[in-house]
Amino acid sequence: MTGESMPRIAILDPLTLVGQALTTELKQKFPSADVSLFHTTDDEEHQISEIDGEAALVPPLSQEGALSEYDVVILAADRISPQLKQLEQTIEDGDAIVFIDASALNHYRDITTPALNSRAMTSGARLRPAHPSIVVADCVLRALAEFEPTNLTIAAIEPVSIYGKEAISTLAHQAAQRLQGDGVSEKIDKRVAAFNMTAVSSTDLLNEATLLFPDLEVAATRTLAGWFHGHLAILNLTFPSPLPIKAAVRALKNAPDLTLRKTPLHIDGVSDREGIYLTTPETSAGGHILSLQAMVDGLQIGCAATVTGMLEGFGEG
């Protein structure tokens, strides 16, 4: 995405966790990109955002037809708003406008397709970045493609930050109340997350993985964890023949998107690490199953970094 192919981009709600990650990543990857910011809250006043250390005014999305001027519209909202009706009208009317739903709302899942990279970028595409654990799985599968894996299981353990800034504050409040022996007064998606883990529906994750990895038999689970930030993905891959573990480790080490660590990985500090960090893989006794764990910043992997990777395909199709 350079020169004449550079699109005009509108980011909706840059002050959310997702929005802040997106604006920062776009500024770093495409410093000359034409990016406009809007908010979809009920507040009719301008908000103030910070991009690359500089203040930027964020007007409300209220001007009729404003979004039709852009080539790409990226949604980063963390709550439903009446202002999104203008977005929906733009999506309906603008056949050539690329829409990327980077939010955690799941509100536009039925009209968007999960994407991993620039190959998904076409005129009028309706996209969303693939789930962080699926982005991890894709990188691992590409690294080990020569060994022809046949099956994949994904266990995704997710932080409360998937629900936005407010959920982080709520988690801290829940923890304080539980430590004091009090009842929890405010839930996160109708759940108590502090000092807790909750098995949640994996249907969307499984459907997404099945769509993106059609040649594999896939199974998936999702768990909401009681920590603030960072995704844990546990992968098991099955191979038709016993896997030569040294060759597999070498392939993973040589993959550009992966970093193997012999020392224990911690979810704490995950936002300070770039890319995908893996534990040293282990094989089953018979050598047909490979197991590994990955910890990633879900605001980058499966979000901002994945979106910028998708945008690299703009104008190439």
| pLDDT, position 178 | 95
| pLDDT, position 46 | 84
Percent of the chain residues topping a pLDDT of 90: 68
| pLDDT, position 281 | 95
Q: Note whether 37 and 270 are within 8 A (CB).
A: no
Residue 68 tokens, joined: 């039709």
CA atoms within 13 A on the CB side of 145: 7
Average pLDDT over residues 91-97: 81
Which bin fits 48, alpha (ψ -120 to 50), beta or left (φ > 0)? beta
| pLDDT, position 52 | 64
C-beta atoms surrounding 234 within 10 Å: 18
- Across the strands, what pairs with 72? 9, 98
Residues of the chain with CATH 3.30.360.10: 134-298
Q: Note whether 30 and 311 are within 8 A (CB).
A: yes
For the domain made up of 3-111, give the CATH fold: Rossmann fold (3.40.50)
| pLDDT, position 48 | 79
Q: Categorize the per-residue pLDDT at 59 as very low, low, confident or very high, splitting at 50, 70 and 90.
A: confident
Residues of the chain with CATH 3.40.50.720: 3-111
Average pLDDT over residues 196-219: 97
Nearest in space to 70 (alpha carbons), one of 32, 34, 117: 34
Of 12-26, 53-67, 76-90, 196-210, minimum mean pLDDT range = 53-67
| pLDDT, position 2 | 53
Q: Measured between alpha carbons, how far is 236 from 94 in angstroms, rounded to an integer?
A: 42
Q: Measured between alpha carbons, how far is 204 from 69 in angstroms, rounded to an integer?
A: 32
Query: CA angle 298-147-267, nearest 5°?
Result: 20
What pTM value is reported for the model? 0.93
- pLDDT above 80: residue 161: yes
By residue count, the chain amounts to 317
Of 84-93, 127-136, 279-288, minimum mean pLDDT range = 84-93
For the domain made up of 134-298, give the CATH fold: Dihydrodipicolinate Reductase; domain 2 (3.30.360)
Q: Measured between alpha carbons, how far is 37 from 39 in angstroms, rounded to an integer?
A: 7
Q: Measured between alpha carbons, how far is 306 from 291 in angstroms, rounded to an integer?
A: 24
| pLDDT, tens digit (0-9, with 9 covering 90-100), for 240-268 | 999 999 999 999 999 998 999 887 888 88
Q: Are strands 197-200 and 151-158 parallel, antiparallel or unpaired?
A: unpaired
Average of per-residue pLDDT values in the chain: 91
Q: Note whether 305 and 25 are within 8 A (CB).
A: yes
| pLDDT, position 149 | 98
